[in-house]
Chains A and B, each alone.
Chain A
Amino acid sequence: MSAQYRATATVERPIAAEVPEEPTLAASVIHTKERTKTLETVDEVMLEVPGTRVQRFGGLGSFTALSLRGAEFDHTTVLFGNIPLRSADGGAFDLSTIPMEVLERAEVYRGAAPAWIAQSGIGGVVQLSPREANDSTAEAGLSAGSFGLFAAHAATSGGTPSGIRWTAVSGVTHSDNDFSYRDERGTHFDTSDDIIARRRNAEVLQAHTLMHVTAPLWDGELEAMALGFERTGGEAGPAFQGSELTHRTLSRYVSSLRYSRTGGDSMQGQPAWRWQVMGSGAYSRNRLSDRLGEIGLGQRVTDDRSFLTQLRSAGERQLLPWLGLTAVSHWEHEHFAPYDALSARSSENSDRDRIAAAVEPVAHGRLGAHRWQLRPLARMELISSRLSSFRPEALEADSSEVRVVPTFRLGAALELTPGVSLAASALSAVRIPTMVELFGDRGYLEGDTRLRPERAVSADVGVSAQGRMGALTLRSAIRGFLSSMRDLIVFSRINAQGLYGPRNTDEALIYGVETSCELAWQTQYSLTASVTAMRARDSGTDRELPLRPRLQAYLRPEYRILNLGFINMATLFADVQYRSSFFSDVINTVVLPEQWVFGMGVRMRMLDDQLELASTVRNLFDAELRDVVAFPLPGRNIVIDVTWHAAL
């Protein structure tokens, strides 16, 4: 169909939702470019997303995990584009290994995720989209800050008249992470020996680079993307027995090639069909050198590698004016190759194949003046594993198994009035046991190949509102959620030699309310807020699950000034995080206190937006912060950065 000059078309406003194409889902989208904070990290961005809980183990570059709606950290599936990111053992993904500079946006799906992305998680899915070329620019920036922080980055993007668009980003970051903390040295009844200690062996040096190219091809689009990430540094260990010489090096390379086409007669402003095929590969190498046996059990010099290859095809077609269909198929091969130079016996490699297919009809229509949408999804996953233990005394304990895992989802949305919608969904989700759970680690953890997958059934219902009233713009959502989990895998001690083994024992019930709000008044004032209130109980023991605060809140007001002398734009912000106290142990005796964290900063653009100066103070009042016992977090710190932008 060809468009005529000065022709007009009426495009109906989609049902109010954070992701307009998926109004039934509880989702949040954070645009990660042009943020106000300096050197912001992915976990900081997640503060704006309700239902999230971040657990950090130290300063910049330390392990950082994300939980959604009170689920376990390894219940969150993290994607870079459409590439699943997993730790080598299949456990929780370390969010600190994705620098913000390589991202265009972060989409957080709490509970259910779109059929299109072909992945699911008990907690949900975080899809981190690689930076895109929106215009022809170049930028270079330098940052410096507390605790020996230094960072530099350069980025460029552009396009050709033939439609090829490209962007490239590189950066390097260093931090000594030698922040101070109060150390009672294990003597809680004797304060005379308390000291203010400094974190040692926590320095980190990391570099990243991203190449992202799209080109028109055969009426479609070809996209190639490659991300490289290298990190080396000390492994500080828990503060009460910090290490001196233990060292870790992480390498991660992911790349993908994707071809997509859309076409057909437009229906409701959407193309009648789209189709996509993608191949990707991910390689990660994790080297740990603990020659003194400072952490874990004995000395180790390990070099574990994992490979993930993936093929995926997805299609979507509008079959009838009221019915569409999404179908996705997905094949994945994981290969894990552990190695310990100090081990007397070599370890075997493990492999796992997954084939998944999902079908989701999308029905939509009107009930009087109210539009509705219904999305039932059925997904079948076939997992074939050949796994080998890398514990010396269990090397013979190989296992091969084939497991079929069906899951479902039913989502519905109803437009109450234009800009206000009601949405609900119910789903089942499964997490298959990780490598560590199946075969243990080289230390105190023994695996069990008889473990069953963890299963969950969840439901949520909520209201989204989006609109404009004069100079006021509002985006807001509130959802209530309920999740019942069973066969949760926990480790308990199993023999006299101090070995721990996993068992399917726990059942949990988690329910709560999550809400987010973005308010803007003209262009000067804006307010971002998120609140999550929840209860998470172990159904077996009737105790609260540890490490889950009942209340978390985040508030960030911003004030923007335009054309102030030579300053084109200045943005001032302050933010406050609140987290209620929570239990750090399963029997509920140890309480980590409530926490208020304040921050503030400024960002200025000047010289025709070519020069950008920014500064952020985090933890303004130097609060003693911890997400877990034994791992202190940095106190007050400041980061200053300067960035030069140029149009090409």
Chain B
Amino acid sequence: MARCALTKRILSGGWPYCVLALLCAFLHACNVRSPYPHADLAPLSEQPSFAVLTTNYVSTAIALLDTEGELITEAWVDSGTTPPGITTTLGGDVVLPSTSPSDGTLTLIDRLGVDVITRISVPSGEVLQQVHAQSNGTAETGFRANPQDWLVIDADSAWVSRHEPNRNPRATGLDRGNDVLFIDLKSGLAAGRADFVSLEQSVQGTAIFARPTQLQRLQDTIAVGMSRLSLDFRTAATGALGFVDVNTLGQTFLEFPGLVNCGMVAKVPNSDTELWVLCAGDTFGGAEERRLRSGLVRVSAERPGIARETYRMRATDHGNLLPPSTGLIPLDTERVIVIASGDASHEQEDQVLLIDTGNNTVTTVFEATESFVLGQGCYLEAARVLLIPDASAGARRWVVTSGHSLEPLPTIDVSPLRRLPAREIRAIQTREES
């Protein structure tokens, strides 16, 4: 009725009104609207089991899958969920925590430059908290914390690993970076930090920083994967794993001579004392160069302060094996899935490798059609389903049989409208599970 009255009024007003109305309609038509359903964090009708990060490194969306790996939504939240400001809702460099938060949230780590961790309640879609990986005083400074991982310690605290050192000599304590920052979950503010200055060294005149990466909890100890790289990532020092006592904050380290860039860590399933550590080799090199110092290590830390290697696989021990570089997924105590990233400039495609430490074999489970398309996946032991993101196809799925073989299931297109490449898949814990 109101629209009808408005139309009559415009028509009765003569040509000036008509011109004005036409002009308004024209301006309206010239404004763009996203062609997809709005990713508005609407409450979900079912509990998702997996979060899939899809991104082209400029725009990012979070797709959700159910227990079977079927698509619930291709974008629960995305870069355009809120109007852009100085940043977009989600930046182009987002990752999911290596350990699914036990508080039943979907947690997103917006990395380099944005430096914000967002905690979203599942399935309600309520944004519980957005936490800065810097102190409050660093708005518009040159420091980029580059948070890599988020580990909830208890109901009151969480730890964030920060990859970048702050080279500004005037930086205050909480903004020195290259550390693990302790977050008070009640206030959302930084409450302390553990730095790893003792791991800093010089290699051929180039300063090497600890560059803490992934965090894993082993009883009262937090294991911290150390990338130990220079500021430009081109020079690496001997790989290392740090251990920080949750109560005393005491630190110990375990070095891996001959291996470098050992930032990725994952717990051995059903163990609170053993870890897998993936050493990706030298960055920016071709496969030949990366292979020299890449490998996989199993570490046992049965008692605080005492850790030791219990297994090592070096890529050079396996002929022309494409060096494992990402996507560390333990299947059980002896078998691990890793992704060997290819290199477009050398026409090498990505591979999914199954490393069996029991008989020291490496099997190529899957070979992609392109390079840098396979990412970090996850394994749901209860359903025996392995999911690996393939940027060129979606979520690739396998069933792990009792005979320890992998049977492929149909691949799920996780971004049918946006066509965003799938890059990471992690499980979402429910509060009951935790």
Q: State whether A241 touches B35 (Cβ < 8 A).
A: no
Say whether A480 faces chain B, with CB atoms less than 8 Å apart: no
Across the interface, name the chain A residue whose C-beta is closest to B145. Answer: A241
Mark contacts of B120-164 with chain A using CB atoms, 8 A cut-off: 1 yes-contact digit, 0 otherwise: 000000010110100010011111100000000000000000000
Least CB distance from B240 to A in Å reads 20
Say whether B86 faces chain A, with CB atoms less than 8 Å apart: yes
Which B residues are in CB contact (< 8 Å) with A594?
A: 27, 31
Chain A interface secondary structure, helix, strand, loop or mixed?
Answer: loop
Which A residues are in CB contact (< 8 Å) with B167?
A: 291-293, 299
Which of B194-202, B211-219, B277-285, B401-409 lines the interface with chain A? B277-285
- Which residues of A (148-200) have their CB < 8 Å from a CB of B? 181-190, 193, 195, 197-200
Q: State whether A188 touches B59 (Cβ < 8 A).
A: no
- Which residues of A (456-503) have their CB < 8 Å from a CB of B? 492-501
Which B residues are in CB contact (< 8 Å) with A184?
A: 85-87
Which B residues are in CB contact (< 8 Å) with A629?
A: 84-88
Say whether B304 faces chain A, with CB atoms less than 8 Å apart: no
Q: State whether A246 touches B142 (Cβ < 8 A).
A: yes
Complex Cα spacing A344 to B27, Å: 55
Give the size range of A's interface with the partner: 35 or more
Complex Cα spacing A381 to B8, Å: 62
Q: State whether B35 touches A297 (Cβ < 8 A).
A: no
Which B residues are in CB contact (< 8 Å) with A580?
A: 27, 30-32
Give the size range of B's interface with the partner: 35 or more
Q: Known: A187-B130, A586-B56, A589-B79. Is A243-B142 also a contact (CB below 8 A)?
A: yes
Say whether B250 faces chain A, with CB atoms less than 8 Å apart: no
Mark contacts of B28-71 with chain A using CB atoms, 8 A cut-off: 1 yes-contact digit, 0 otherwise: 00111111100100000000000000001111010000000000
Complex Cα spacing A584 to B85, Å: 12
Complex Cα spacing A593 to B80, Å: 12
Least CB distance from B350 to A in Å reads 9
Least CB distance from A526 to B in Å reads 23
Which A residues are in CB contact (< 8 Å) with B173?
A: none
Q: State whether B116 touches A589 (Cβ < 8 A).
A: no
Q: Which of A181, A497, A590 contacts B86 (CB 8 A)?
A: A181
Across the interface, name the chain B residue whose C-beta is closest to A183. Answer: B86
Complex Cα spacing A573 to B129, Å: 49
Across the interface, name the chain B residue whose C-beta is closest to A343. Answer: B232
Which of A70-78, A232-240, A329-337 lines the interface with chain B? A232-240
Complex Cα spacing A444 to B203, Å: 22
Which B residues are in CB contact (< 8 Å) with A591?
A: 32-34, 80, 83-84
Mark contacts of A563-590 with chain B using CB atoms, 8 A cut-off: 1 yes-contact digit, 0 otherwise: 0000000000000001011111111111
Say whether B420 faces chain A, with CB atoms less than 8 Å apart: yes
Complex Cα spacing A297 to B35, Å: 35
Say whether A242 faces chain B, with CB atoms less than 8 Å apart: yes
Complex Cα spacing A362 to B371, Å: 53
Q: Which of A238, A393, A588 contacts B234 (CB 8 A)?
A: A393
Q: State whether A493 touches B84 (Cβ < 8 A).
A: no
Say whether B351 faces chain A, with CB atoms less than 8 Å apart: no
Q: State whether B61 touches A632 (Cβ < 8 A).
A: no
Q: Which of A239, A448, A590 contacts B140 (CB 8 A)?
A: A239
Complex Cα spacing A591 to B345, Å: 34
Q: State whether A589 touches B168 (Cβ < 8 A).
A: no
Chain A to chain B: the 10 pairs with minimum beta-carbon distance, closest first: A298-B232, A294-B142, A589-B80, A551-B30, A187-B130, A241-B113, A496-B341, A189-B127, A242-B140, A292-B167
Would you mind naming 6 contact pairs between A and B with Cβ atoms under 8 Å apart? A188-B88, A189-B118, A193-B136, A197-B139, A237-B142, A293-B167
